């Protein structure tokens, strides 16, 4: 059985093709810079060299079309045609209050996603387009939706309610929802394995840092608080989103400039964050290159981003009381050692002590690493996320009728002996070139 997963983000479209019988990934890939210009696909099929090609994708529909053509192409394809795929798992950003776990997509689910798409203006439309595009190609197989918000449905009222008129919550479901749930689920379960602890007795602070970014306080294995809010705009400084700001600021700017509420919303979501601070850059790789070359705005943007993450780490340590581990994940969290360096500097006072050398060594998606010093009271793990595997296992279990909410469901990667075959192969190749990587590999206790 072959399962396809699609994860259409604000400026990307990730995919994975998985053979369930062999528990093996046939291909993974990503279309980057979707809608931004200069988009390209990076495709890695098992046993082959990585393939990269420039291809303009002004919309996410174009990105899905490119993925399908690549998967079935003569030179790069891994399946004969799309009929080989028996189910598709889709990442959906916002499920509102209607979903506490993954579901098979039907008309009611699609209607619900459309109802809340204004709450996820950069993602939900892309998610919906991905589902619609895939259903046209594969109309006869079940399509499953894995919601980012579902993981956070365990938050208590003190975490998810805003101090606004309570009737807004009762009438309009105004509350904190939180996002990146699939990533947090995977990394929380893996962190418990590395710590050798019962997942439901584990407290964590997880930093999911990518173009979109958020922090999650995990208490006893469940989401307790998170930095994103009713939409993904709240919280950390992101690629194009402002994150936290004074709620009065938009009204002030509207009065000064005459901008409409729609223009303000668009600016805060699409023209703020790192892009707003630098005036031209949103990708961390470009910002780092500019900072190294002496661009003061790029360097300032990095410090502002790191400062915001530090504040949330400290706040969530206070909220949790006991923290068993600090975790970094997602593209920036996994690879941008220079950002981790800025975030971790000066946290010794709260028991977080990192090793700069180990931190600089860790830039891999093939293994879990530990970059804290032995005297650190709180270990620092870098856990490459695997949202696609969560989506794959949810989709299969939904199809089989065995799926349940994560507190009553066990994933394959919760085993101490779990091995991702593709990553294991990648790690062997990395170690052949860089044997010193063994110094920072994290092993289950």
**What distance in Å separates the CA atoms of residue 333 and residue 206, rounded to the nearest whole number?**
10
H or E, element range at 135:
helix 124-137
What does each C-alpha distance from 144 to 83, 131, 141, 293, 392 come to in angstroms?
17, 9, 10, 46, 9
Closest CA to 102 of 412, 403, 411, 388: 403
Element (H, E) at 432: helix 421-433
Contact 412, 393 (CB under 8 A): yes
* Token pair of 436 as six digits: 């010193």
Would residue 148 show up in a list of annotated catalytic residues for this protein?
yes
What torsion do the CA atoms of 231, 234, 240, 242 make, to the nearest 10 degrees?
Answer: 140
Give the containing element (helix H, strand E) for 215.
strand 213-219
Interatomic CA distance for residues 243 and 273, integer angstroms: 7
Quote the tokens at residue 387: 């949202």
Kindly give the interhelix angle for 60-71 and 124-137, rounded to the nearest 10 degrees: 40
For tokens 């005297």, the residue is 375
Residue 190 to residue 347: CA distance in whole angstroms: 24
Residues 6 or more apart from 30 whose CB is under 8 A from it?
12, 13, 14, 15, 41, 42
Distance of CA 312 to the CA centre of its chain: 17
Give CA separation, 193 vs 190, 329, 445, in Å: 5, 16, 8
Judged on CB neighbours under 10 Å (0-12, 13-18, 19+), 136 is exposed
Three-class SS of residue 280? coil
Residues 6+ apart with CB under 8 A from 169: 161, 162, 175
CA distance 147 to 150: 5
Q: How far apart are CA 95 and CA 77, in angstroms?
A: 33
Catalytic residue among 62, 148, 283, 324, which?
148
- The pair of three-digit structure tokens given for residue 188, joined into one six-digit string: 């929380």
Distance CA 335, CA 161 (A): 34
DSSP class of 441: B
Query: Which residues carry out catalysis?
Result: 148
């Amino acid at each position: 059985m072959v399962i396809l997963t699609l994860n259409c983000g604000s400026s990307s479209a990730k995919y994975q093709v998985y053979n369930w019988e062999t528990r093996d990934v046939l291909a993974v890939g990503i279309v980057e810079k979707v809608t931004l210009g200069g988009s390209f696909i990076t495709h890695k099929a098992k046993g082959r060299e990585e393939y990269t090609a420039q291809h303009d994708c002004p919309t996410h529909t174009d990105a899905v079309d490119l993925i399908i053509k690549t998967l079935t192409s003569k030179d790069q394809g891994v399946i004969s045609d799309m009929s080989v795929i028996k189910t598709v798992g889709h990442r959906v950003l916002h499920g509102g209050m209607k979903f506490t776990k993954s579901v098979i997509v039907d008309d009611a689910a699609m209607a619900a996603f459309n109802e809340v798409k204004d709450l996820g203006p950069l993602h939900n439309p892309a998610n919906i387009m991905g589902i619609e595009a895939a259903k046209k190609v594969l109309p006869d197989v079940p399509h499953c939706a894995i919601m980012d918000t579902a993981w956070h449905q365990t938050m208590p009222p003190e975490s998810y309610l805003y101090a606004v008129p309570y009737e807004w919550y009762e009438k309009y479901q105004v509350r904190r929802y939180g996002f990146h749930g699939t990533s947090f689920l995977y990394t929380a379960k893996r962190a418990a394995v590395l710590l050798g602890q019962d997942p439901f007795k584990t407290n964590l602070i997880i930093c999911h840092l990518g173009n979109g970014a958020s922090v999650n306080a995990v208490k006893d294995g469940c989401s307790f608080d998170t930095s994103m809010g009713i939409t993904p705009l709240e919280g950390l400084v992101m690629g194009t989103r402002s994150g936290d700001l004074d709620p009065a600021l938009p009204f002030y700017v509207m009065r000064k400039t005459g901008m409409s509420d729609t223009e303000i919303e668009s600016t805060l979501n699409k023209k703020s964050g790192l892009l707003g601070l630098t005036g031209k850059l949103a990708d961390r790789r470009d910002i780092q290159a500019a900072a190294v070359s002496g661009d003061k705005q790029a360097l300032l943007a990095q410090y502002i981003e790191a400062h915001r993450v530090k504040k949330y780490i400290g706040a969530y340590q206070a909220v949790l009381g006991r923290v068993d581990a600090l975790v970094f994940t997602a593209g920036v969290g996994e690879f941008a050692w220079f950002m981790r360096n800025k975030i971790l500097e000066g946290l010794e006072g709260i028991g977080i002590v990192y090793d700069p050398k180990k931190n600089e060594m860790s830039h891999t998606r093939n293994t879990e690493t530990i970059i804290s010093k032995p005297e650190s009271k709180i270990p620092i793990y870098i856990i490459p996320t695997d949202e696609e595997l969560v989506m794959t296992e949810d989709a299969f279990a939904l199809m089989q009728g065995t799926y349940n909410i994560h507190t009553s469901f066990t994933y394959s990667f919760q085993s101490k002996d779990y091995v991702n075959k593709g990553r294991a192969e990648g790690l062997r190749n990395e170690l052949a070139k860089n044997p010193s990587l063994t110094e920072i590999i994290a092993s289950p206790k």
